A and B are shown apart, each in its own frame.
Chain A
Amino acid sequence: MTANLHLWLIPVLPLIGAAINGLFGRRFSRQAVTAIALTFCGAAFAMALWVVSQFSSLTLPYVETVAHWLRAGSFQVDFAFQLDQLSLVMLLIVTGVGFLIHIYSVGYMWEDAGFYRFFSYLNLFMFFMLTLILASNYLLMFVGWEGVGLASYLLIGFWFIKDSAASAGKKAFIVNRIGDFGFLIALFLLIQHFGSLNFQSVFEKVALLDKEASGAGLLTTVAILLMVGAAGKSAQIPLYVWLPDAMEGPTPVSALIHAATMVTAGVYMVARSHVIFERAPIALTVVAIIGTLTALFAATIGVTQTDIKKVLAYSTVSQLGYMFMAAGVAAFSASIFHLMTHAFFKGLLFLGAGSVIHAVGGEQDMRRMGGLRTKIPVTFWTMTIATCAIAGIPGLSGFFSKDEILWRAYQANWIYWMIGVFTAFLTSFYMFRLLFLTFFGSYRGDADKADHGHDPHGHGHGGIHESPKVMLVPLVILAVFSFVGGWIGIPAAWGGSNHFEKFLEPVFHASSPAATPEHAITGEAPIAEQTTETPESQTDHRMERIFTGISVVAGLLGLALAGLLYWQRPELPQKIADSLGGLYHTVVNKYYVDELYAALFVKPLVDGSSRILWRGIDQQIIDGAIDNSADGAREVSDTVRRMQSGSIRSYAGWIALGAAIVIAYMIWVGTR
């Protein structure tokens, strides 16, 4: 073991900030709240950077046990933190993007009455998220997992006066519970079969097992249950429904929790458990299919949404689907790579959307925006970079990460690739649709607001205006990262050396079943890109370049179509929508999934609990039993009470009478 890093400080710092602001923030000025929140979050970020500087001198994975937690026989769980390449990447994303969004929130939330509450929750979220990614066992990870769910609930329902926000928070919480149930069962199975929850000891034992190539066994079960948990947290089919509703929360929350960090926890968990998944091909296939379907499904819904944040929400669901697609074809580092670039550009998109909403006085409907390009230029340019990045325009971060995923997906199965490319086309289309609707054309909102409007609510302070500097700086920084963030993972086919994958390689390949000959079936991938330039890899590179070309064309096609429909000929979309009729309505209404769930699960549950459990069992049987026994006791005592008259003479009379009877009896016995 090398130097002591005191990793535990990283999560605890934001917790201190959350505690101070949460307990005393009400009495502080906004400046003091800001200072506290930013100091502790920034300290965590600085600490993360310091860890990076120490990283090369560590023996990996570096595990630090702070305290013992549970001990039951041979089973033992500690408060222990683990640092390896994977958690380092996550650490930097969470603290870095998190810190930028903290800064942004200062500007965005300045006029909100719950300013201190907001920052307290935000710091609390950082604490749990950092616990999640630094944990060295599943149980501590689960603590962070549940904690970010709590923080997410609190922040979605931040404006809890609004009914829709309160129920959106509830929905997110309940849907996540379903996923957590799967996660928890998986943990129980791990305890039962491996007697431990420590990553290292579980994975060591799993590594000794064979791949479950034929049929499903223990590892497949565990992996699928873990995937259920991941689907809940990372909004995959069938548990994605909470994420679009989560947009009721303040926009920085959407950026931090529901785009950049928390929703990627599921991807992280799957990547972390890659040893289990690699030995369960069926589960991997399930992951890939869920991811692919979700990517396509959410992208089609995103095309029809008109609320700027809803479009981004469905886009997030869709991009998370890409990450799971990559994980499902055992390309974990590609998955984490996309996770990172996505954190940059989607965080930026949400912050930009927040800036737009701020500018137009709380309006979120894109149909009532337009022509904002010249009025809020910084927001426009940064959002353009992010849009290009997500659409896969060559050179930007999203291009490299998405391309990596598509290439790996192709190597596993061309169907994944087909759907992936089509989704990339849709992604590009709806993102440029958003851009054109918002920033191009002419302004379609209230005319007076454009000039001198007085908006009585929301962020209105008259006129369309650029956001303050404190909001723009994070935008610009994130824009830079959205641009260059992909350059650390340029694949060999494009003359790069994919540093990112090499960096993560020790995590993903050290314990993979690579040694076994049947490996060729699983991955078809992991060793595809070795630096040695064999003729085989030459062909591979040529192929990869062709495929990249195809997905770039798909992206540009989306751009062109969006430009045509929403910039050049804005009357066309309505006509197309009319001609599609029922299909369009189905998609606009999100395939009626919410209605389906309401009819299938929510209504039976509500009816069952109100009619059977509440009115039937609780009121009739339980309450009835108690009421009846109380009534019975009263009636009996009412009768018996009359004996206790309180008249001493009557008592004495009874005693005398009783004594007389006893004596008479004794005399009768004696004289017989």
Chain B
Amino acid sequence: MVPLSYYLILSGILFACGVTGFLIKRNIITIFMSIELMLNGVNLSFVAFAAQWKALSGQVFVFFVMVVAAAEAAVGLAIIISVYRNRETLNVDRVNLLKL
């Protein structure tokens, strides 16, 4: 059986990749995908712990996270499409109308 620490390290790597992508990428789609990556990194550690401790609550959390992520993807993509239609760009640095 694969030890728990392996899962956690993979989960940490995934999460760190997500954070890094979120911070350095300009394309809004990529940022969005980075967020999904972070969520899935967290999901991985949830299920790992659930398997380790034979507790269902970790898996239930994962379902919640998936539902939220799906809803977020639906709304977020709709926003992205409408931003693109208006601004003809996906660069977040140029979506700055509200800035001072």
Nearest chain A CB to B64 CB, angstrom units: 21
Task: Give Cα A652 to B93, complex, Å.
Answer: 14
- Chain A residues lying within 8 Å of B23, measured Cβ to Cβ, are 649, 652-653, 656
Identify which of B23, B96, B98, B100 gathers the most chain A CB atoms within 10 Å of its CB: B23
B46: A residues at CB distance < 8 A: none
**Cβ of B96 to closest chain A Cβ, rounded Å:** 7
Question: Which residues from chain A contact B92 at a C-beta distance below 8 Å?
Answer: 648-649
B 65-100 contacts with A by CB, 8 A: 92-93, 96, 98-100
Residues on A with beta carbons closer than 8 Å to the beta carbon of B19: 652, 656
A584 to B54, CA, bound (A): 120
Asked whether A517 is an interface residue with its Cβ less than 8 Å from the other chain, the reply is no
Contact of B96 among A646, A653, A656 (CB under 8 A): A646
Could you tell me the distance in whole angstroms from the C-beta of A663 to the nearest C-beta in chain B? 10
In the assembled complex, the CB of A667 is this many whole angstroms from the nearest CB of chain B, namely: 12
Q: Which residues in window 615-658 of A have CB below 8 A to B?
A: 645-649, 652-653, 656
Cβ–Cβ contact A646 & B98, under 8 A: yes
Q: CA of A656 to CA of B92 in the docked complex: distance in angstroms?
A: 19
What's the least CB distance linking A154 to chain B, in Å? 56
What is the minimal beta-carbon distance from A490 to any residue of chain B, in angstroms?
Answer: 95
Q: How many Å from the CB of B35 to the closest CB on chain A?
A: 10
Q: Distance (Å) between the CB of A637 and the closest chain B CB?
A: 13
Interface SS, A side: helix
CA distance A653 to B96 in the complex (A): 18
Report the Cα distance A605→B19, complex, angstroms.
73
Q: Roughly how many angstroms separate A647 CA and B22 CA in the complex, as a whole number?
A: 13
Tell me how far the C-beta of B75 lies from the nearest C-beta in chain A, rounded to whole angstroms. Answer: 17
- Given A646, A649, A652, A653, which contacts B99 in the complex, CB threshold below 8 Å? A646
Chain A neighbourhood of B93, CB < 8 A: 647
**Size class of the A contact interface (CB-based, 8 Å):** under 10
In angstroms, Cα B92 to Cα A646, docked, is: 11
Bound CA–CA A653/B19 (angstroms): 9
Question: A656 contacts which chain B residues (CB < 8 A)?
Answer: 19, 23
Which residue of the partner chain A has the closest CB to B100? A646
CA distance A281 to B34 in the complex (A): 101
Q: In the complex, which residues 1-58 of chain B have their Cβ closer than 8 Å to any Cβ of chain A?
A: 19, 22-23
Identity of the chain B residue whose Cβ is nearest the Cβ of A650 in the assembled complex? B23
CA distance A645 to B92 in the complex (A): 14
Q: Which residues on the B side are within 8 Å of A645 (C-beta)? A: 99
Residues in A neighbouring B22, C-beta threshold 8 A = 649, 652
Residues on the B chain within 8 Å of A648, using CB: 92
Give complex CA distance A649, B92 in Å: 9
CB B11 to nearest CB in A, in angstroms, measures: 13
Smallest beta-carbon distance B30→chain A, Å: 12
Q: What is the CA–CA distance of A649 and B22 in the complex, to the nearest angstrom? A: 7
Q: Give complex CA distance A649, B24 in Å.
A: 8
Q: How far is the CB of B89 from chain A (nearest CB, A)?
A: 15
Bound together, the chains give a CA A429 to CA B19 distance in angstroms of 110
Chain A residue at smallest Cβ distance from B12? A663
**Alpha-carbon gap, A649 to B27, bound state (A):** 12
Q: A650: shortest Cβ distance to chain B, in Å?
A: 9
> Most chain-B Cβ atoms within 10 A of its Cβ — which of A645, A646, A649?
A649
Closest to A644 in B: B100
Residues of B within 8 A of A647 (CB): 93, 99
Q: Mark A85-101, 1 if CB is under 8 A from B, else 0.
A: 00000000000000000
Q: Bound state CA distance, A215 and B25, in angstroms?
A: 98
CA–CA, A648 and B35, complex, Å: 13
Residue of A nearest to B92 (CB): A648
How far is it, in angstroms, between the C-alpha of A648 and the C-alpha of B19 when the chains are bound?
A: 13
Rounded to whole angstroms, the CA-CA distance of A81 and B23 in the bound complex is: 87
Assembled-state Cα–Cα distance A48/B19 (Å): 97
How many Å lie between the Cα of A645 and that of B99 in the bound state? 8
A656 to B23, CA, bound (A): 9
- B96's nearest neighbour on chain A, judged by CB, is A646
Q: Could you say which residues of chain A place their CB within 8 Å of the CB of B99?
A: 645-647
Complex CA distance for A646 and B93, rounded to whole angstroms: 10
A111→B98 CA distance, assembly (Å): 67
Q: How far is the CA of A652 from the CA of B98 in the complex (A)?
A: 18
Q: A449 CB to closest chain B CB, in angstroms?
A: 77
Measured in the bound complex, the distance between the Cα atoms of B98 and A319 in whole Å is: 81
Residues A128-171 near B (CB distance < 8 A): none
Residues of B within 8 A of A646 (CB): 96, 98-100
| Complex contacts, A649 vs chain B, CB 8 Å | 22-23, 92
Cα of A63 to Cα of B22 in the assembled complex, Å: 91
Query: Which residue in chain A gives the minimum CB-CB distance to B22?
Result: A652
Q: How far is the CA of A652 from the CA of B32 in the complex (A)?
A: 13
Q: How far is the CA of A647 from the CA of B99 in the complex (A)?
A: 8
**In the complex, which residue of chain B has the Cβ closest to the Cβ of A649?**
B23
- Name A641's closest neighbour in chain B (CB-CB): B100
Least CB distance, A620 to chain B, in whole angstroms: 35
Q: What's the nearest-Cβ distance from chain A to residue B23, in Å?
A: 6
Cα-based distance from A648 to B93 in the complex (angstroms): 9
Residue on A with the closest CB to B28?
Answer: A648
Closest beta carbon of chain A to B14's beta carbon, Å: 15
Q: How far is the CB of B59 from chain A (nearest CB, A)?
A: 24
Cα of A653 to Cα of B93 in the assembled complex, Å: 15
* C-alpha spacing A652/B100, complex, angstroms: 19
Contacts of A653 in B (CB 8 A): 23
CB distance from A642 to the nearest CB of B (A): 10
A652 proximity list for chain B (CB < 8 A): 19, 22-23
Instruction: Enumerate chain A residues within 8 angstroms of B96, measured Cβ to Cβ.
Output: 646
User: What is the bound-complex CA distance between A652 and B22, given in angstroms?
Assistant: 8
A670 to chain B, nearest CB (A): 14
Q: How close is A240's CB to chain B, nearest CB, in angstroms?
A: 68
Name the residue on A nearest B35 (C-beta): A652
- State the CA gap A646–B94 with chains docked (Å): 12
- For the complex formed, measure the closest distance between the CB of A140 and the CB atoms of chain B, giving whole angstroms: 64
A658 to chain B, nearest CB (A): 12
A646 CA / B96 CA spacing, docked (Å): 8
What is the minimal beta-carbon distance from B41 to any residue of chain A, in angstroms? 13
Q: How far is the CB of B12 from chain A (nearest CB, A)?
A: 10
Name A residues whose Cβ lies closer than 8 Å to a Cβ of B: 645-649, 652-653, 656
Residues of B participating in the A interface, judged by any CB pair closer than 8 Å:
19, 22-23, 92-93, 96, 98-100
**What are some 17 contacts across the A-B interface (CB < 8 A)?**
A645-B99, A646-B96, A646-B98, A646-B99, A646-B100, A647-B93, A647-B99, A648-B92, A649-B22, A649-B23, A649-B92, A652-B19, A652-B22, A652-B23, A653-B23, A656-B19, A656-B23
- Beyond contacts A646-B98, A652-B22: 11 other A-B pairs, Cβ-Cβ < 8 A, are A645-B99, A646-B96, A647-B93, A647-B99, A648-B92, A649-B22, A649-B23, A652-B19, A652-B23, A653-B23, A656-B23
Shortest 8 CB-CB contacts between residues of A and residues of B: A646-B99, A656-B19, A652-B22, A653-B23, A652-B23, A649-B23, A648-B92, A646-B100
